[in-house]
Amino acid sequence: MSVWEFTAVYPGSFDPITLGHMDIARRAALLFPKVVVAVSEAKHKACQFSLGDRLFFVQESLSDIPNVEVTSFQGLLTDFVGRVGAKAIIRGLRAVSDFEYEFKMAWMNRRLAPDIETIFLIPSEEFAYLSSSLVKEIATMGGDVSSMVPEVVARKLGSETGGSP
């Protein structure tokens, strides 16, 4: 049973999705009847993986959660949230360093769309250190990231770096 009776959007570039992202998505799915995991085109970032790859990774990784829908979006997040009829934005916080940036974004989103709330969730302690950037860096140097990302991502990272997942 959901705590809230409205849709939430969990946005991100997910370049790539990590077990920490998956943990936040699972937590959100327990709170809301529908969670839209929205993969950003992220034109402002230099992503390692294409939008198509990132969508595939997220779809494969979250396919076992029945109330999660995966899609992509471009443009303002608040516009997308409105288009899908959601009332909340889910953001993950790993550390105090995340909070300042996320707090500013929440205030800006509230300014753009006062009827949309930002909900902060923290991952399980075992995933608090994970970030896509660190995962990519470790994989680039030949490190094993299989305990940090879903299997589909570990295989791809292993094949791109010439290592094994």
104 is catalytic: no
Q: Which residues pair with 74 in a beta bridge?
A: none
3-state secondary structure 35-75: EEEEEECCCCCCCCCCHHHHHHHHHHHHCCCCCEEEEEECC
Q: Out of 45, 63, 104, 124, pick the active-site residue.
A: 45
Q: Out of 13, 26, 27, 94, pick the active-site residue.
A: 94
21 is catalytic: yes
Q: Out of 40, 91, 132, 156, pick the active-site residue.
A: 132
41 φ/ψ angles, rounded to the nearest 5 degrees: -60, -25
Q: How far apart, in Å, are the Cα atoms of 38 and each of 93, 99, 145, 148?
A: 17, 21, 24, 21
Name the residue among 47, 106, 101 with its Cα closest to residue 72.
Answer: 47
Q: Out of 21, 34, 87, 91, pick the active-site residue.
A: 21
83 is catalytic: no
94 is catalytic: yes
Residues carrying an active site annotation: 21, 45, 94, 132
